[in-house]
Amino acid sequence: MNTLMKQTLTASILSTMIASTAMAAPAEAPPAFVKRIADSLISRLKVDHAKLQNNPAAVTAIVQQNLEPNVDAQAFTRIVMGTYASAQSSSPQQRATFERNLRQSLIQNYGTAFAKYSNQSYSIRPYKQTASAFPVVTLDFNNQGQKTPVSFQLTDAGSQWKVRNINVAGIDLGLQFRNQFADTVKRNGGNLDKAIASFKPDANNATK
């Protein structure tokens, strides 16, 4: 193959790679993605408010439908498992079980929190674009004059954004849950299977 053909082929391959990358990039800006998810969830809670009273299963179902598809469960699992997420420390089966249990536990926790929703409003802070691979969008939820900031750290999942971690009022939930899981492993004498089975993330006990 002569030099000209090599250069032409290389240019063609690079062009294809760049075009594919551009097509795979999320079409929405990070703030638009977070606002869409928040509006979708809140609108459901408003419309079905009367039906949701004393019906935690219904609230959980709404939270699951609106949030779960937009969360990068694998990324959040790696954050929470910490060093135990490595191939040297856990098996694929253990990581899959942990991810499933963590997802179910979080949906239940969020369901409990949103069951108390009583028509609060929220505002979105001006978005500051940075060079970070994980954009952060912050919403301020207003409740009787008090604002609670909730920051969503996003990851590019190829064609769409997904939430990989959440910070509530300055508390990094991924880090807090990682510490809680590490304590659970210790309480179970280092038995990872027992720790995975018994681990229940508790946002109420998270501290700065």
Q: Which residues contact 146 (CB under 8 A, 6 or more apart)?
A: none
Judged against a pLDDT cut of 50, whether residue 19 lies above it is answered with no
46-97: pLDDT as tens digits: 887 777 777 888 888 888 888 889 999 999 999 999 999 999 999 999 999 9
53-66: pLDDT as tens digits: 778 888 888 888 88
Q: What is the pLDDT at residue 208?
A: 64
Percent of the chain predicted with pLDDT > 90? 50
Q: How does the average pLDDT of the chain come out, rounded?
A: 84
CATH for the 27-202 domain, from 3.40.50.2300, 3.10.450.710, 3.20.20.70, 3.30.950.10: 3.10.450.710
